[in-house]
Amino acid sequence: MGNIQKSIEVDRPLSTVYNQWTQFEEFPEFMEGVQEVIQLDDRRLHWVADIAGRRAEWDAEITEQVPDRRISWRSTSGAPNSGTVSFETAGSDRTRVTLSLDYESGGVMENMAEAMGLVERRVVSDLKRFKEFIESRAIETGAWRGEVRGGQLESTSAMGQGRGQDLGASSPSTAALRAKKSPGRGKSTKGSTTRSTSGRASKQTRAGRGSSARSRAAK
């Protein structure tokens, strides 16, 4: 089992930095090689990425999410990997972000990338780009303040304006994938909140988050 752990300090308050990281579908904005992240439901994500020139897709689940403290995940398909991103105050309006990534020896990620040191370089560069991404904005693009403990959803809580609003029509490919992964997910559920992102004009698949089971509220 390989492990990489890297940290960076960001010139933004703790809650602002944490809130931005909860916007998983924004990851392609600053993660090299990540082409798309689809929020399937409260805890599950579908990833599409380019790793050493090859397309890779996998599903992951959030195993723990504690507001302003940490988010942990593990893959449920594809190359075995898991990790935790933690957040702590590093002074006045500064936050230290620490990303720890574990991956199975002999897996696709190691065979295709580790030999060239690509995984470690990407972690370092991704953190730098995240720092630039959030520092270039006055506020986070959205926030989800719910909790996941022991792999179970404990609470749902969204912040910001426009949560639950439809940000546009999903592309056919995204809609089909969501229907396949979780039938009936597009139906509204009484009492549930939804994650919505800010949307990207260049990616229609970032839109239409109002039908999701969690709310990433766009600001």
Please give the Cα distance from 88 to 13 (Å, whole number). 10
What are the structural domains of the chain? 2-211 (3.30.530.20)
**Which pair of tokens denotes residue 138?**
């006055």
Please give the Cα distance from 28 to 122 (Å, whole number). 13
> How far from chain centre, in Å, is Cα 158?
16
Give pLDDT, residue 2. 77
Spatial neighbors of 126 by CB under 8 A, at least 6 apart, are: 30, 31, 32, 99
Give pLDDT, residue 118. 75
Please give the Cα distance from 145 to 93 (Å, whole number). 19
Question: H-type helices in the chain, by residue range?
Answer: 14-21, 108-113, 118-135, 172-181
Q: What is the pLDDT along the chain (219 residues), one digit of tens a residue?
A: 678 999 999 999 999 999 999 999 999 999 999 999 999 988 999 999 998 788 999 999 999 999 999 999 999 999 899 999 999 999 999 999 999 999 775 555 556 555 557 788 889 999 999 999 999 998 999 999 999 999 999 988 765 432 233 333 333 444 444 444 444 333 333 333 345 444 443 343 333 444 344 444 434
Look up the pTM and report it: 0.71
Spatial neighbors of 92 by CB under 8 A, at least 6 apart, are: none
Count of alpha carbons within 13 Å of 129, Cβ hemisphere only? 15
Give pLDDT, residue 114. 58
